[in-house]
Amino acid sequence: MKIGIEAQRIFRENKHGMDYVVLQEVLQLQQIDHENEYYVFVKSGPDRCLKSSRNVHVVELSAPSYPLWEQWALPRAAEKVGVDLLHCTSNTAPLHCKAPLMLTLHDIIFLEPRDKENRSLYQNMGWLYRRLVVPHILPQCRRIVTVSHFEERNIVRKLGIPQERMAMIYNGYNEWFRPEAKTSSAYIKYIGRTGYLFFLGNTDPKKNTERTLVAYARYLERSEVKRPLLMADLDRQYLEDIVRRNHIENIKEHLTLPGYIANGDLPSVYANAFAFLYTSLRESFGIPLLEAMACGTPVVTSNTSSMPEIAGPDALLADPTSAEDMAEALLRLEKDTALLQRQRAAGLERARRFSWRQTAEQLLRLYQEVVGEVGR
């Protein structure tokens, strides 16, 4: 087989969720499959995290914008190579492509009502682009891959996709997320002590940053320990607006906002935290859940969307629409040593069920299945 894989943004320096997923999938395929040919289409960037090998070829394509790269450069490169299947991995695909298509649809948030409070131009433009493109490409896709049973049911129900055209393949996590990361001092770059609370959030309303900060304020009012909160990827002006709007000035002296945390430092940051807060309103999977659990860090996560599915039946769940419920979950962990130990053990056990190798093996079987159908 000749398989084309769209991985446009994996060479950018500050990678995010979908970038890491396709990078790890390709790295694993590079290890386990030495028979088929892979053409990985990327945009040039500073972090050259993938190198060509005998049967995996990195093809750099240039275009001035994401839409032009995807709609013009990508289908032409795929046709030139003569791929048997083009796997687009980031929710969108070319509208006109001669190669058979497979799409990873991580979620369909962009087809759901838009939060009016979102003022990010980048996020709003991405939302609009996907909203325009996705309905037109879905009928062309031989398979639509998604990353949880929750999202699979959501796609089938809301878009009317036949079940036989769907494929659910869980994400994994990197093997360097493990309890031994606690011995690393990398966390000191971001916060000066261990035993903090850790939250990964941004200005996207689904990340539930505002309500989580209100919950933290309530935690501080009732906690005897008053653990500091480390928050990555949070704009300071956005924080100031939340503090002023909710009259929670008391939290500011307890917050540490280092900006972007390098992926290589995350194991140490997770492992040296008292607890990790993953309190989104909606997630299609939630790789940070696995990363934190694999480091032996207790997790407080939401009881909505895919998070109970990924975190498992023993997870400590909270209602993300209730600041009181989230605060109470934190206080329970802090006061109940037995619960704390149970959560550490349950998280480690749950994380063992996921791996990027399993993801790649399932993906390879799906490639073989789809190419076989095209050939018939």
- At residue 117, the pLDDT reads 59
Give the model confidence (pLDDT) of 293-347 as tens digits.
999 999 999 999 999 999 999 999 999 999 999 999 999 999 999 999 999 999 9
**Cβ-count burial 125-154 (b if 16+ within 10 Å, e if not):** ebbebbeebbeebbeebbbbbbbbebbbeb
Domain ranges of the chain: 2-171+355-375, 179-351
- At residue 214, the pLDDT reads 97
CA dihedral over 87, 90, 91, 92, signed as positive or negative: negative
Mention every residue, 6+ apart, whose C-beta is less than 8 A from residue 308: 301, 315, 317
Decide whether 2-171+355-375 matches 179-351 in CATH topology. Answer: yes
Q: Which CATH class is domain 2-171+355-375?
A: alpha beta
Give the model confidence (pLDDT) of 215-269 as tens digits.
999 999 999 999 999 998 888 888 999 999 999 999 999 999 998 898 899 999 9
Confidence check: pLDDT of 46 > 60? yes
Dihedrals phi, psi of 249, to nearest 5 degrees = -60, -20
Short-list 356, 376, 375, CA closest to 364: 356
Distance of alpha carbon 175 from the chain centroid = 16
CA dihedral over 304, 309, 310, 316, signed as positive or negative: positive
Encoded amino acid at 376, one letter: R
Q: If pLDDT is split at 50, 70 and 90, which confidence band does 92 have?
A: very high
pTM for the predicted model, two decimal places = 0.91
What average pLDDT does the chain have? Answer: 93
In the 3-class helix/strand/coil scheme, how is 225-289 assigned residue by residue?
CCCCEEEECCCHHHHHHHHHHHCCHHHHHHEEEEECCCHHHHHHHHHCEEEEEECCCCCCCCHHH
Give the span between the Cα atoms of 11 and 2, in whole angstroms: 22
Give the span between the Cα atoms of 291 and 172, in whole angstroms: 9
Give the model confidence (pLDDT) of 108-158 as tens digits.
988 876 665 555 666 677 778 888 899 999 999 999 999 999 999 999 999
Pick the CATH number of 179-351 from 3.30.360.10, 3.40.50.2000, 3.40.50.1820, 3.30.230.70: 3.40.50.2000
- At residue 179, the pLDDT reads 97
Tokens linked to 317: 């769940």
Average pLDDT over residues 99-116: 85
Contact 177, 273 (CB under 8 A): no
